[in-house]
Structure 1
Amino acid sequence: MSSTTDELACVYSALLLHDAGMEVSHENISNVLGAFGIEVASYWPKLFAQFFSSQDMAELVSSQCAVGASAGGAAAGGAAEETKEDAPADEEEEEEESSSEGGFGGLF
């Protein structure tokens, strides 16, 4: 496995343990990985257990969800604002074109 895959496996194991209400320790991370048949370098579970022991896991998860939601909302909101501004201009141009055509498609 690559180091990125090892890291992701440990993160997902830690999240699984947290969700199950279990202690996020290197033994538990190793047990979860073993249960799924995932082999990682022996230092990864210890490293992640040490990191998560000094963090509030619920805070980490909720803060990342909030950041993702606000970033997505801002992008969507910006696109909606542009559409609102463009719409009246388009309607005015269409009205000007149709009134100059004289009602008969520009034949006369």
Structure 2
Amino acid sequence: MASDDELACIYAALILADDNVTITDDKLATILKAAKVNVEPYWPGLFAKALDGVNVRDLITNIGNSAGSGGPAAGGAASAPAAEEKKEEKKEEKKVESEESDDDMGFGLFD
């Protein structure tokens, strides 16, 4: 879990990114001071260095798109049928699991 100092710097960085302002340690410190939030003096500089050259807006908006993706598959068109087969296999597995779950208990809903 993030500390209060970290969270304060994160929110300050998000404010700057929302206003399309370059994230620097001075600007982070100014926002924190205006919000009357006291943080350890190294936090704004640390966040400024970590976010240097990073487009925070793109990072936030694309977080769900790239998380866990293995990249594009080779053969483009050939990958579409393979994906459909995997979906069908998953559906079949779910059906089998639901049928077996009734048998495991020794009784069904209408027994």
Q: Same fold (TM over 0.5)?
A: yes
Question: Structure 1 regions of 5+ residues with no counterpart?
Answer: 68-77, 98-108
Residues 1-108 of structure 1 mapped to structure 2, 5 A cutoff = 4-66=3-65, 67=67, 82=94, 86=98, 93-94=108-109, 97=111
Q: Offset at 1:82?
A: 4.5
TM-score by length of 2: 0.56
> Any runs of at least 4 consecutive aligned residues in structure 1 with deviations exceeding 3 A, and if so which?
81-85
Over 3 Å counting, the alpha-carbon distance change for 1:86 and 1:12 in structure 2 is same
Query: Is the contact made by 2:25 and 2:45 (CA closer than 8 Å) also made in structure 1?
Result: yes
Q: Offset at 1:36?
A: 0.9
Per-residue displacement from partner, 1:2-42 (whole Å, max 9, x unpaired)? Answer: x7211111111101110111121111111111111101111
Give the Cα–Cα distance (whole angstroms) in 1 for the partners of residues 35 and 64 of structure 2. Answer: 26
Question: Structure 2 regions of 5+ residues with no counterpart?
Answer: 68-89, 103-107
User: How many pairs are equivalent?
Assistant: 82
TM-score by length of 1: 0.57
**CA RMSD in angstroms, aligned pairs only:** 3.3
Task: Name whichever structure is richer in helix by fraction.
Answer: 1
Instruction: Give the letter for the 2:8 counterpart.
Output: A
